[in-house]
Amino acid sequence: MPKVLIADSLSPAAVDIFAQRGIETDVKVGLSKDELIEIIPNYDGLAVRSACKPDADVIAAATNLKVIGRAGIGVDNIDIKAATAKGVVVMNTPFGNAITTAEHAIAMMFAAARQIPAADAGTQTGGWPKKAFMGREVSYKTLGLIGCGNIGSRVAERAIGLKMKVAAYDPFLTEERAVELGVEKVELDELLARADIITLHVPKTDATANILSKEALAKTKPGLILVNCARGGLVDEAAVKELLDSGHIGAAAFDVFAEEPAKENVLFGAPNFIATPHLGAATSEAQENVALQVAEQMADYLLTGAVTNALNMPSVTAEEAPRLKPFATLSEKLGLFAGQISDFGFDEVVVEYEGEVSELNRKPLTAALLAGLLRPSRGDVNMVSAPAILAESGVKLTETKTEDSPVYDSLIRVKVKTKATQNAPEGGWRTLAGTIIAGRPRIVEVKGMALEGDFSPVMLYVNNLDKPGFIGALGAMLGEANVNISTFHLGRTTESGEAIALVGVDSDPPADLIASLDGLEHVRYVKALRF
């Protein structure tokens, strides 16, 4: 039975969902890093919000961990690179609190435009400061959105309902989507020059860190209202303070800060500045939603392999998983085969999908193939870590698809360009193909030769010249070594040309047998394969 640690406060509904799915849970909130490291080897899953920080040290200690689920959007507290290298899926719940966060941004905009917190404080202390506050309408003003994705688009919908004009900067926003939302797609400099109000809705990445730098803020309109309910570190806080003091920025409202918890900040006490303590997702509805979603997603992955909202692995729905599973098994075995016969590494990988499989979700299939391909040389590699490892190695990966398959309903082919060396005359392309027959993965092509056979747990792969007596000699040598043959599959190009023998055996062939086979006159290559 899988076991999950809930390390941050989540709705009790999450525990109920895990229990209903047959997953054991422990709720241990407020653990120190050392305490977390000590117990994390006991768990298959880790559910967190923002307080628990599974960093590289924690993940290194997590010998059984398969998935980290973040109840919410931001994953700044999770070392995704370390998780990926370890083969741990990292999931978040990007939709559960989108409405809540969008509403908070709109609320902050109104609070800044009408100076509501200061007016409230002045009123409740008996000052009745009616003349001290002159607000601004937001209707017919231009709202500049930096980020128009899941949350930003919802802010846009609400702003348009307030009769605002919306200009959006987002490199991933298509013209079609902009038209659908009723926003104008613009470049950042144009947004800075035109916007009366700017609100940010992007994650913090290398591309977005300090996106509103001192230089960028200097390009904004006098009297700007600035709202940040996204992530700290997107805005130069010191520059905002200077511009608030000078009056260039009319008001600013921040829910997030570069350092949190923000016990102190350069912006605190600045004129017309409003702060909330990272409340964007803090509604009962949102917390219930993200708790339910993270529990369902983690349970689906641990029980069925379905992947939803993963940040380091292709998504696989619960409906897709059963259909993909046999093809994922085939892909992994093809990769494992290719990896074992690529003795000196490789420079390029091509994956071809033909027939019905070409219309499936191919990303997890490619990930499974790469996991098999890398395992002989890199050890403990899985579908999560393999694509990242291959990308870091600089190996070129190409994927193609063809709707028609001449012989089989579906076919997966892998081509690996191996490194040619003086000691490796077999350097060049290794080509394998397979399919599913009666629900089982089958080899159907090796080096372009038609050859149909099973993936036996232990196999001899022999590439030889097709000469009379060779098969008999091979069988005799296996018999003399007391290695029993379970299956025997042959393929060849032409009579007396190149041939392949795939021999399933019941035990590992001894090293001296492999050496003897390799020394035969007609043998070009021989390898014991394990699946």
Average pLDDT along the chain, 531 residues, taken 10 residues at a time: 95 93 96 97 96 96 97 90 94 91 98 96 94 94 96 97 98 94 97 98 92 98 97 97 98 97 96 96 91 95 92 86 93 96 90 96 95 91 91 92 92 91 68 95 93 92 88 89 92 84 92 90 90 93
**Is 278 a residue of the active site?**
yes
CATH of the domain at 428: 3.30.1330.90
**Is 231 a residue of the active site?**
yes
| pLDDT score recorded for residue 438 | 92
> Do the domain assignments include residue 119?
yes
Domain boundary pick from 404, 423, 454 = 454
* Residue 246: CB atoms within 10 Å: 10
444 and 469 co-located in one domain: no
Ramachandran region of residue 182, left (φ > 0), alpha (ψ -120 to 50) or beta? left
* Secondary structure class of 190 (helix, strand, coil): helix
Quote the number of domains for the chain.
4
Alpha carbon distance 420, 346 (integer Å): 9
Q: Which domain holds residue 208?
A: 98-275
Q: In degrees rounded to 5, what are phi and psi of residue 124?
A: -75, -15
CATH of the domain at 293: 3.40.50.720
The residue annotated as part of the active site, out of 70, 278, 430, 442, is 278
> Do the domain assignments include residue 309?
no
107 and 251 co-located in one domain: yes
Q: Are 379 and 441 in contact (CB under 8 A)?
A: no
Is the pTM here over 0.75, yes or no?
no
Amino acid in position 181 = L
| pLDDT score recorded for residue 105 | 98
440 and 463 co-located in one domain: no
300 and 403 co-located in one domain: no
List 529's β-bridge partners, or say none: 459
The residue annotated as part of the active site, out of 49, 70, 104, 231, is 231
| pLDDT score recorded for residue 424 | 56
The residue annotated as part of the active site, out of 103, 260, 352, 452, is 260
Q: Which stretches of 434-480 are DSSP H helices?
A: 470-480
The two structure tokens encoding residue 438: 């009666």
486 and 412 co-located in one domain: no
297 and 326 co-located in one domain: no
**Is 362 a residue of the active site?**
no
